[in-house]
Amino acid sequence: MKRRTTSSKTEILEVLKSSGNAMSHEMIQTELHRKVDRATIYRVLNQFCEDGKVHKIVGDDGKQYFAFCMNCGEKKHVHSHKHLHFRCLECGKVECLESELSLPLPSGYIGKVHNLLVSGYCRECGSEEGNNFS
C-alpha cells in the first residue's frame, strides 16, 4: 500500500512540527485551516506512527497524543526511545523532554522503554499548591 501525498497529511504534519508538543486529534483539528474529518486525522496520524514520523503517547487521561518529536528530529523515528514525555496537569500540554533516562529494570525483563510519561506542573503553570495527583 503505497502512500500518497495529500494536503491533509502535509498540513497535519506541519501543525505537529510547528507546535513542537504532543497534541490530541482535537487540538490538531482546531489548528488546521481546512476542516478535516476526525476519522481522517486519526488515520493520517496512525500512518505517521507506522512510518515513524510521529510518535503516539497515551496520557494519564487515557487519551492519545501525537508528537513530532523535536529531539528525534527528522530522522527515522526510533520507536524505543529513552526520553520522557511530560504532561502538565494544569494546562494539559504534553512535551518531549530531552532528559536521558536510565531505567532500572529487574533482571530477566527485556524492555526497551517507550511511552514514558511524567505528570506534574510545567514551568508556566508551576504552582506548588493543589498537587492532587491521583
Partner DNA sequence: GTTTATGCAAATTCTTTGCAATACT
Partner DNA sequence: AGTATTGCAAAGAATTTGCATAAAC
Provide the binding-site residues for a second copy, judged by CB under 8 A. Answer: 49, 56, 58-64, 79-80, 84, 86, 97-101, 103-106, 108-123, 126-128, 131-134
Smallest distance from the beta carbon of 36 to a second copy, in angstroms?
Answer: 22
Which one of DNA, a second copy, none interacts with residue 93, CB within 5 to 8 A by kind?
none
Q: What DSSP string describes 25-52?
A: HHHHHHH-SS---HHHHHHHHHHHHHHT
> By C-alpha distance, which of 29, 36, 26, 27 is closest to 6?
36
Q: Which is nearer to a second copy, 29 or 119 (CB)?
A: 119
- As a whole number of Å, the CA-based R_g of the chain is 16
Q: Which is nearer to DNA, 34 or 123 (CB)?
A: 34
d(Cα 48, Cα 45) in Å, to the nearest integer? 5
Which one of a second copy, DNA, none interacts with residue 34, CB within 5 to 8 A by kind?
DNA
Smallest distance from the beta carbon of 37 to DNA, in angstroms?
Answer: 4
Smallest distance from the beta carbon of 2 to DNA, in angstroms?
Answer: 5
Q: What does DSSP say about strands 64-67 and 55-58: parallel, antiparallel, or unpaired?
A: antiparallel
Smallest distance from the beta carbon of 29 to DNA, in angstroms?
Answer: 10
End-to-end CA distance of the chain: 43
